[in-house]
Amino acid sequence: MAKFIDHISESQQKFIREQKLFFIASAPAEGRVNLSPKGLDCFRILDANTVAYLDLTGSGNETAAHLKENGRATVMFCGFKEKPLILRLYCQGEAITPLDARFEDLMRHFVSTPGQRQIIYMKVESVQSSCGWAVPFYEFVSERSTLIENTKVKGEAAMVEYRAAKNRASIDGLPTPPLA
Domains for the chain: give ranges and CATH numbers: 3-132+142-166 (2.30.110.10)
Q: Which helix (H) or strand (E) holds 161?
A: helix 156-166
CA distance 59 to 37: 13
Give residue-wise pLDDT tens across range 149-162: 999 999 999 999 99
The DSSP bridge pattern shows strands 116-130 and 50-56 to be antiparallel
The model scores a pTM over 0.85 = yes
DSSP alpha helix (H) spans, the chain: 10-18, 62-70, 103-107, 146-154, 156-166
Give residue-wise pLDDT tens across range 107-153: 999 999 999 999 999 999 999 999 999 999 999 999 999 999 999 99
Closest to 172 in 3D by CA, of 56, 22, 24, 68? 68
pLDDT for 49: 98
Q: What radius of gyration do the chain's Cα atoms show?
A: 16
Angle subtended at Cα 156 by Cα 150 and Cα 118, rounded to the nearest 5 degrees? 90
